[in-house]
Amino acid sequence: MSGRIEGNEVISYNPATGAEVGRVQLAAPEDYDVNVTRAQQTFERWRMLPAPKRGEIVREIGDELRKAKQELGKLVTLEAGKIVAEGQGEVQEMIDVADFACGLSRQLYGLSMHSERPGHRMYEQWHPLGVVGIISAFNFPVAVWSWNALIALVCGDTVVWKPSLKTPLCAVAVQEICDRVLDRHGWKGVLNLAIGEDDVIGERLIRDQRIPLISATGSTRMGRYVAQVVAERLGRSLLELGGNNGVIVMDDADPDLVVRAVLFGAVGTAGQRCTSIRRLFLQKGIAARVTEKLIAAYKQIRIGDPLDPATLMGPLIDEAAVEGMMRGLANIQEQGGKILTGGKRLHIGNGENFVEPTIVQAHAGMDMLKEELFAPVLYLIEFDTLDQAISWHNDVPQGLSSAIFTTNLISAETFLSARGSDCGIANVNIGTSGAEIGGAFGGEKDTGGGRESGSDAWKAYMRRQTVTVNWSGELPLSQGIKFDVT
């Protein structure tokens, strides 16, 4: 039970207890139009504010988030079921993005190019794009919004946000925090919130010609639909979709390092991250040791109330997620997979959305390996050679995050080469989760191809303009073309 709609309200429930957390009024079509009109009108002024000034406002948003970190982090725990450390960490990530975006506001660089024509200067510049539509998912109810919104703000865009109906209160809280800063500076309308159903608000958002960019985080199925609708109107879409992340462990790896990384990557957020480790490829010489250590570690995981600091894994988001995991495990066993530990549903207190994290002994031919089961299920697959492991690793539709554990330089560089991992993120001796905001985040294939946060991901939120200035007093044409009319 999560995000249930009654009348014109969505009811938010604590996934750990089933208790109601709060209610939020759903936006009607006319509410959506007010939001977009306000965002569009505000954009006309916001785009002319110098980027460093926009960065200062975003820095102040970060300061407000610092003040609210404890309370907002607790709300993330209450509504999304994340353990305390992860709830606090998600808010800290927003703060870090605000700091990053503030610095970025002075680094929206264009290139200068040498013109082939004498007395000409050629360069490129970047202008604000417009109103950016953001669709976010329940598993990172606030952080992923910040990756998009705070970068878009320093780029000169305004924002309309449609959050997940499973975590609407987190969105309301973030909007309130940001409004304190924006109202103080007279910039109401820079950030806008539209909480509504997919077929009411979502459809309007992705079909709206006034919104040149839609950034959507969610399932591959959702992303395909968004991409088709937005492309039909020749808009831009930035997609962060499914992940089915694999880790290759070579015989020379440190088993203890592997176990610590896999435990965090596979069990953190109850396996409900797009970067969760789902497939673990173990070279046969190390497979038995790593498997034994993992099983022992899984049996020590403290499952329960995510507000308890001692808890390492909280609940799945709702009943549908639990049922999806149980169906997935049944399919896994039908395809020859063997459950080594876990796999049961748990009832803790009044909560019914708890499960045991699960390790499955699998084989490369299982169809389930190609699906993203959004739950704490880890597949172990043994391999002989690195080439075999890379082939199996890449043989899935998704391409988000990946890793190899090895002390061999040749193995590491092979994995990072053009014939190695086909993912947008490739790591050596660390897991697939915990991406830093300074790097561009995103993946290939069914993951959608989008890039958010660091590096030059800011370019997605701006429009490029190539400029040529003729200061020669003459009009030479390119390629030496003569075009005289006298």
Give the single-character DSSP code of 410.
H
Secondary structure element (H or E) that encloses residue 55, with its range = helix 51-67
For the record, the structure tokens of 244 come out as 């089915």
Which is catalytic among the residues 93, 240, 372, 382? 240
Q: Is 176 in the active site?
A: no
Q: What whole-number distance in Å separates Cα of residue 64 and Cα of residue 180?
A: 8
Phi, psi of 243 (to 5 degrees): -130, 145
Find tokens 């002024």 and name the residue. Answer: 45
**What distance in Å separates the CA atoms of residue 227 and residue 236, rounded to the nearest whole number?**
8
- Contact criterion met (CB below 8 Å) for 394 and 422: yes
Name, in order, each residue with C-beta under 8 angstroms of 372's C-beta and a sequence gap of 6 or more: 220, 242, 243, 244, 278, 398
Strands 401-405 vs 245-249: parallel, antiparallel or unpaired: parallel
Nearest Cα residue to 84 out of 412, 411, 309: 309
* Residue 427, beta-bridge partner list: 403
- Contact between 239 and 449 under an 8 Å Cβ cutoff? The reply is yes
Q: Which of 304, 33, 79, 308 is nearest to 194 (CA)?
A: 33
> At which residue do the structure tokens 């209160």 appear?
169
274 is catalytic: yes
Interior/surface letters 332-358, b for 16+ CB within 10 angstroms, e for the rest: beeeebebbbbbeeeebeebbbbbbbb
Rg of the chain taking only CA atoms, in angstroms:
24
What backbone phi and psi angles, to 5 degrees, belong to 194? Answer: -130, 95
CA gap 86, 65 in Å, rounded: 16
Long-range contacts of 342-345 (CB under 8 A, 24+ apart): 342/298, 342/376
DSSP 334-359: HTT-EEEE---EEEETTEEEEE--EE
Give, as one character, the DSSP assignment of residue 476.
P
From the list 238, 198, 231, 233, the residue with the least C-alpha distance to 214 is: 238
Given 274, 352, 382, 452, the catalytic residue: 274
Q: Which amino acid is at 43?
A: F
Q: Please tell me the distance from the alpha carbon of residue 398 to that of residue 219, in angstroms, as a whole number.
A: 11
What are the catalytic residues?
Answer: 240, 274
